[in-house]
Structure 1
Amino acid sequence: MADEERWTAAHAMTNFDDLLERVVTTCKPVFIVGERNSAVLISMEDWDSIQEKLRPRSPPDL
């Protein structure tokens, strides 16, 4: 993704409130890159949407 936003782990920790606000208001994930590990921060709304899509569906007659 060419327009993905990346933050260092140190910057994310120092500015976590700003990072959280940004993720929630833009509805775009932010990639957090550390020396040993990396992660992606997404909004709760996006997480719920992903979970809903992954949840197995019961047949209509059950």
Structure 2
Amino acid sequence: MPRIIIYNIAQDNHPNYGITTSHGLVRMEYHNRKMKIFTQQSGLLNNQFNYQSIFKDDEGTI
């Protein structure tokens, strides 16, 4: 099994979480405990993120 590295976690205003990893981007919905994983197959340019590679705007959107 490949080792997955978590680079950053950010919480939006709903509260949901965006998690950047070495194998894609994860969206975790806090209230219903659902997770969605975004990869190159979902349209990302690359599965590999880097340290602190997440953005949250002034309105709380990740």
Q: TM-score, normalised by structure 1?
A: 0.26
User: Which one has more relative contact order, counting CA pairs under 8 Å at least 6 apart?
Assistant: 2
Q: Which structure dedicates a bigger proportion of its chain to strand?
A: 2
Q: Which structure has the larger Rg over C-alpha atoms?
A: 1
Specify which structure has the higher proportion of helix. Answer: 1
| Structure 2 length-normalised TM | 0.26
